[in-house]
Amino acid sequence: MTEELLAPTRVRLLLAAQELIEEGGYGAASVAAIAERAGVAAGTLYRHFSSKEELFVELFREVCDREVRAMREAAVQMADDARASSSSRQSSPCSPSARSAAPAWPGPSSPSRSIPGSTPSGSPIASATPR
């Protein structure tokens, strides 16, 4: 048999094993249960895998590879999001360049000058202290 003909059955066996493991753990994933779920005879499993353990090892590798790919894609997306966020902050009014252009306190726009009872020094407490 050619690999092209074996591949769909091999994939069905791997998917069946994964489903059974997810549903009931390794104990639920017997050769007979895997074969039945995949719609093949139990002996067919051994045409594709030398043992149940080999099937599990391949399944474990495939699942891990998918997880690693998903984590890499998430990391790339997070880096892209961070770059986009960083570039949008550079043009915002709160960016370091915008803050350096703002007047420093105390100055003409100092909030202490608008507080009733505050002194020219800007301390509201100083005006309440007896002299």
Q: What's the pLDDT tens digit per position in 81-104?
A: 888 888 776 655 555 555 555 555
Query: Taking the domains of the chain in order of start, what are their residue ranges?
Result: 3-87
Q: What is the pLDDT of residue 122?
A: 47
Q: What is the pLDDT of residue 84?
A: 87
Give every residue of the chain whose pLDDT is below 70, as ranges.
Answer: 1-6, 89-131
* Token output for 21: 């493991």
d(CA 121, CA 110): 11
Per the document, the length of the chain is 131
Q: What is the pLDDT of residue 86?
A: 81
d(CA 96, CA 102): 10
Q: What are phi and psi of 116, to 5 degrees?
A: -60, 140
Report which of 42, 71, 65, 1 is spatially closest to residue 17, judged by C-alpha positions.
Answer: 42
Q: Are 45 and 10 in contact (CB under 8 A)?
A: no
Around Cβ 27, how many Cβ atoms within 10 Å? 9
* Token output for 77: 């997306």
What class is the 3-87 domain? mainly alpha
Q: What is the DSSP letter of 98?
A: H
Around Cβ 16, how many Cβ atoms within 10 Å? 22
